[in-house]
Chain A
């Protein structure tokens, strides 16, 4: 029964996200399994490993916290392999973790009956992932079949394409903002790869700014804990309609912007007091870090997002979001451009900024902000949408892709599409 019908029943989606690893077969329903995209390298000589009888080198998945040892070892042994979407070719530890996570995901769902001949795996990587990452991942899928047939065939698609598929939109611009970077990718049936723009800014940049704000407000000790800073950012961060107006309003109406954040399960309470206007800087920084107000932070040592080259891709540091979308769209045919501007999809937790009725007209949502920025730059008829379930969009796109693409469509490097067969 190794046919189209078999493929449709055994599609398996994997999203190698920068923070979370989402996986599951078509039969799981609307929502995939989610674990953190990380692995812990066990010290085989440690007392803990001997006591627990750990015979393996790496631990991944939901049980990982049970194996964590001393805090000082965490930085070295707890590895997030895809923090900026790309793994270096020779980063052995990172690739080992990716292999272990992939095996963990497939084995969690592989049925034991004899009719099962492996999954049709659709994996998703950042659009800026270089070719060697594709090659390495295909190699891993093949190696996993040595012990037991887990992967019948596999393919890899870029994350923005998966988002467009999940949102049922064949022509659009997908802006995917992860922990370490932001990808702008126009799509018209296929991802238009030569129009892709990558920004060296993501959720981590807003975290860094939040940490600086916390330091300035007397919470320097808390600013060292990344997880806590992220939570505070999510609680206090606001996206201003116009930064200057928002700051002026906030300074005159402190009571309306002041907020006390309580960290659940702790005694920690954070109140920015007179500095509550800085809440607007956090959202603005993701969209546009060029405002002169950020210079005071750069001068005091906060790293300025710089232009970097990773693999074959340039990541721009300071280009504002609207500018990068325009630059990307203008690389496409003129005829296509209005269609692309009319469907801009914002995906990723970095676009979930809070608003409140008391700050109407001062704080805005991501779609409204981007529409205003585009209008200021002279682009009319822009329609921006924020994804409903950003966490699951890529996985859903993978499932649709695997379900629809014919099983006999062979992989071609020139198109970067099709199935690599392992039978």
Chain B
């Protein structure tokens, strides 16, 4: 069965298609639920994802927006991703005015409503600094390598998750087998007991009981009554 794509994968897919690769991701941010730092080698973009639960709190949204304003200074591009059904809570014009991108998502996929405005001055400075150290061939090679490493990291993460699931299934199977072994042992013991119990002989009559009901077994009255004469 194919694995259901994660929220992170759905949202970041937009920028991965544009040549960005994942540099770092965290769930430890106090203002948003997930933060993913993407890079295309030249620019660094921070993607901030708010979950449905967070969007139900107005304070949480405001907190996230303030945090985004701070990030504008640190990164070349800042993007906010919110669930499709909460898009009305965000004024896209305000975000556009401050250069913050807006992505909406649901389980089917993600859509970029407002593209982020990249900080050209900062990019220029960065480029200049890099140019000082590296020539264009080396720069391209570096970008390519970073992109490949990001892909390998993703594959590794996926393997790790799969291994986790296999280990979990393995543990569950061990528990089930041990329970079945207990039941088997009990059934074996019971069969021996039943064989020891007194059976009524089989008869052609359709009313013939196969074994005695529990209230007849070990009943002292059977002996008392059988002596009535």
Contacts and interface: CB of A to CB of B under 8 A. Distances in A.
B215 interface: yes
A339 to B, nearest CB: 14
Contacts of B136: none
Interface in B78-122: none
B200 A8 contact: yes
A218 interface: no
Contacts of A10: 205, 207
Contacts of A164: 221
Contacts of A378: none
Given A399-B213, A400-B216, A116 B228 contact: no
A111 interface: yes
Interface string B173-201: 00000000000000000000000000011
Interface stretch (A21-29, A91-99, A250-258, A346-354): A21-29
A115 B222 CA distance: 26
Contact of A166 (B205, B215, B222): B215
B205 A405 contact: no
Given A9-B203, A9-B207, A10-B205, A399 B225 contact: no
A5 B198 CA distance: 13
B221 A406 contact: no
A403 B207 contact: no
Contacts of A170: 220-221, 224
A417 B229 CA distance: 10
Nearest to B208: A9
Given A109-B207, A168-B221, A403-B222, 11 more contacts: A5-B203, A10-B205, A115-B205, A170-B220, A400-B222, A400-B225, A403-B216, A404-B225, A404-B226, A406-B226, A417-B228
B204 interface: yes
Contacts, number: 84
B125 interface: no
Interface of B: 200-201, 203-210, 213-216, 218-226, 228-229
Contacts of A292: none
A409 B203 contact: no
A168 B218 contact: yes
Interface string A379-423: 000000000000000001001110111100100000001100000
A417 B215 CA distance: 21
User: Chain A contact residues (Cβ within 8 angstroms of B): what range?
Assistant: 20 to 34
A23 to B, nearest CB: 13
Contact of A25 (B207, B210, B216): B207
B214 A30 contact: yes
B200 A9 contact: yes
Interface string A1-45: 100011011100000000000000111011000000000000000
Nearest to B204: A115
Nearest to B202: A9
11 contacts: A26-B207, A26-B209, A27-B210, A111-B205, A111-B206, A111-B207, A168-B215, A168-B221, A403-B222, A406-B226, A409-B228
A189 interface: yes
A112 B207 CA distance: 10
Nearest to B216: A400
Contact of A400 (B201, B204, B219, B228): B219
Contacts of A9: 200, 203, 205, 207-209
A105 interface: no
Nearest to B226: A404
A299 to B, nearest CB: 47
A170 B223 CA distance: 11
Contacts of B228: 405-406, 409, 417-418
Report, nearest first, the 5 A-B pairs whose CB atoms are least far apart. A404-B225, A111-B206, A27-B209, A404-B222, A396-B215
Contact of B207 (A1, A29, A116): A116
A113 interface: yes
A165 interface: yes
Nearest to A1: B203
A406 B209 CA distance: 18
Contacts of A417: 228
A191 to B, nearest CB: 13
Contacts of B221: 164-165, 168, 170, 400-401, 404
A165 B219 contact: yes
Contact of B205 (A113, A168, A401, A409): A113
Contact of A396 (B201, B213, B220, B229): B213
A399 B207 contact: no
B201 to A, nearest CB: 6
Contacts of B216: 399-400, 403
Nearest to A404: B225
A361 to B, nearest CB: 35
Contacts of B219: 165, 168, 400
Contact of B201 (A5, A109, A405): A5
Interface in A195-252: none
Contacts of A405: 225-226, 228
A331 B151 CA distance: 95
A390 B191 CA distance: 30
Contacts of A112: 206
